[in-house]
Amino acid sequence: MFEMMLGEKIVQLRKEERLSQEQLAMKLNVSRQAISKWELGDAIPDTEHVVRLAEVFNVSIDSLLRGDLKCQPTNQGKCLPVLIGMMVIGLVVSFMMWGTFKSFMLVTIGWVIQIVTIILFIVIHEKPTYKEIYWIKVSSVWLIPPFIVKYLVDQLMIFYPKARPAIFDLIVVSMVYLMISVGVTIILKKKSTD
């Protein structure tokens, strides 16, 4: 009885998300046959897969396992745009402080906004999903380091005593920043799929 109800719920939620059995199987790292068995009630997913199903379908584990067919979407995912927005605001504040005062000390105001935002997100959001944790890491990699990279490149350029155009420094900073950010993002993406 339970297997059939869970199977029906998986079918319903999969169709609502417009996912094929193959697509759902790829998201969960299982075979298409496993999804088919779950849906038919021939087998039930283990605990880890139930958790992943709830995340993929954006429903609570409770509503996935209970008999009520009205699955209440969780609020998970709604805070993520706010988090990224506040991180962007922190970056903009950093740029404004740098453009106005040319002081790395004042740039830290933007960093404080970004770091406090991440801390508040984690405190308020008791159990962030894997997807949310991934996006916190990625947004941190792209939105926090620009001025850190600029500062480090400026310090290294002290050893290059020749006069050079400002655009040269900008190009070097941009290249180093992009290499670091893209490299770390690729590493995070690989780890998230493992």
pLDDT digits (tens, 9 = 90+) for 101-152: 888 888 889 999 999 998 888 888 767 777 788 888 899 999 989 988 988 9
Secondary structure element (H or E) that encloses residue 188, with its range: helix 166-193
Question: 149 phi and psi, to 5 degrees?
Answer: -60, -45
**Average pLDDT in the chain:** 85
**Whether 25 and 101 share a structural domain:** no
We report the CATH number of the domain holding residue 42 as 1.10.260.40
Q: Which residue has the tokens 């740039």?
A: 107
Q: List, in sequence order, the alpha helices (H) in 125-145.
A: 130-143
pLDDT band at 160 (very low <50, low <70, confident <90, very high): confident
Does some domain include residue 73? no
pLDDT band at 24 (very low <50, low <70, confident <90, very high): very high
| Terminal Cα distance for the chain, rounded | 33
In Å, how far are 6, 30, 88, 104 from 43, measured between CA atoms? 10, 13, 46, 59
Query: What is the number of structural domains in the chain?
Result: 2
Cα 167 to Cα 188: distance, rounded to the nearest angstrom? 31
Does some domain include residue 70? no
With beta carbons less than 8 A apart as the criterion, state whether 86 and 62 touch: no
**Whether 134 and 41 share a structural domain:** no
Would you give the DSSP letter of residue 29? Answer: T
Give the residue numbers spanning the domain of 33. Answer: 2-65
Cα 41 to Cα 112: distance, rounded to the nearest angstrom? 51
What pLDDT, on the 0 to 100 scale, is given for residue 122? 82
pLDDT band at 37 (very low <50, low <70, confident <90, very high): very high
Residue 38, both tokens: 């779950």
**Whether 87 and 60 share a structural domain:** no
pTM: 0.60
